[in-house]
């Protein structure tokens, strides 16, 4: 700072140089805040409250620098940085803004917080469904109409009546098991296992036990 005022011969020159220096710094900060406000977007890792707080800090900084942001500009910044999941609420708030009773900043925050909770719950349900589908234990019993794994179901008359076999699914299960392939049969490590029952063999078994 001392280097900037070297050469000043009186207090007036000193004041003018200092005033110009800080004025230019303030202008640069204003442009920086305005640019950040125009380009602000909600991050995937931050909550709605954190996103709105970032906007408020920038607006307060501009206000402190003498460049106030009006109410409608504040709303436009909030809505413009929201991801696609919030578009329904963006439309609602925009329509309210055109009415005689627009939403306050607090009301907008409440609407977006409710939407955030809904989005999180929806993601949890989707993740649970995906984990159920990818779990082989949950799919083990789907060859029959019951939910138990095939290996634990007794092959009896009552069982066959309760769980009618599906030939296509049985064939697919046999084809997917490497122990039933010709290479496995010739391997000394694996003795030849019995083939899974086909639909016709199960039907004959069922009829013979009536």
User: Whose structure tokens read 């109409």?
Assistant: 145
What pLDDT is stored for residue 187 in this prediction? 42
pLDDT tens per residue across span 6-25: 666 777 776 777 777 777 78
What pLDDT is stored for residue 206 in this prediction? 45
What pLDDT is stored for residue 61 in this prediction? 92
Query: Do both 126 and 160 map to the same domain?
Result: no
Query: Do both 146 and 130 map to the same domain?
Result: no
Domain boundary among 134, 160, 191: 134
| 134, burial (CB in 10 Å: exposed 0-12, middle 13-18, buried 19+) | exposed
Domain boundary among 113, 134, 155: 134
Query: Do both 127 and 181 map to the same domain?
Result: no
14 vs 18: CA distance, rounded Å: 6
Query: Do both 28 and 128 map to the same domain?
Result: yes
The per-residue pLDDT string of the chain (210 residues; one tens digit each, 9 = 90 and over) reads: 656 666 667 777 767 777 777 777 888 888 999 999 999 999 999 999 999 999 999 999 999 888 899 999 999 999 999 999 999 999 999 988 877 788 899 999 999 999 999 999 998 888 887 776 666 555 554 444 444 444 444 444 454 455 455 555 444 545 544 443 444 334 444 444 444 444 444 444 444 444
Domain boundary among 86, 108, 134: 134
Query: Do both 66 and 50 map to the same domain?
Result: yes
Domain count within the chain? 2
82 vs 95: CA distance, rounded Å: 16
Instruction: Name the residue range of residue 196's domain.
Output: 142-208
Query: Do both 60 and 18 map to the same domain?
Result: yes
pTM score: 0.55
Q: In whole angstroms, what separates CA 201 from the centre of its chain?
A: 49
């Amino acid at each position: 700072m001392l280097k900037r005022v070297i050469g000043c011969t009186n207090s007036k020159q000193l004041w003018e140089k200092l005033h110009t220096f800080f004025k230019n710094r303030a202008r640069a900060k204003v442009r920086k805040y305005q640019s950040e406000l125009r380009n602000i977007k909600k991050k995937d890792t931050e909550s709605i409250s954190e996103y709105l707080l970032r906007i408020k800090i920038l607006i307060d900084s501009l206000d402190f620098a003498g460049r106030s942001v009006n109410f409608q500009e504040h709303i436009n910044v909030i809505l413009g940085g929201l991801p696609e999941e919030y578009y329904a609420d963006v439309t609602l708030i925009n329509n309210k803004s055109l009415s005689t009773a627009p939403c306050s900043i607090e009301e907008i925050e409440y609407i977006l917080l409710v939407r955030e909770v809904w989005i999180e719950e929806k993601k949890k349900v989707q993740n649970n469904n995906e984990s159920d589908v990818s779990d082989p234990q949950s799919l083990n019993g789907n060859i029959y109409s019951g939910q138990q794994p095939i290996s634990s179901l007794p092959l009896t008359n009552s069982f066959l009546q309760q769980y009618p076999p599906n030939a296509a699914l049985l064939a697919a299960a046999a084809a997917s098991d490497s122990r039933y392939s010709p290479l496995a049969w010739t391997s000394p490590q694996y003795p030849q296992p019995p083939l899974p029952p086909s639909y016709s063999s199960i039907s004959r078994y069922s009829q013979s036990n009536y």
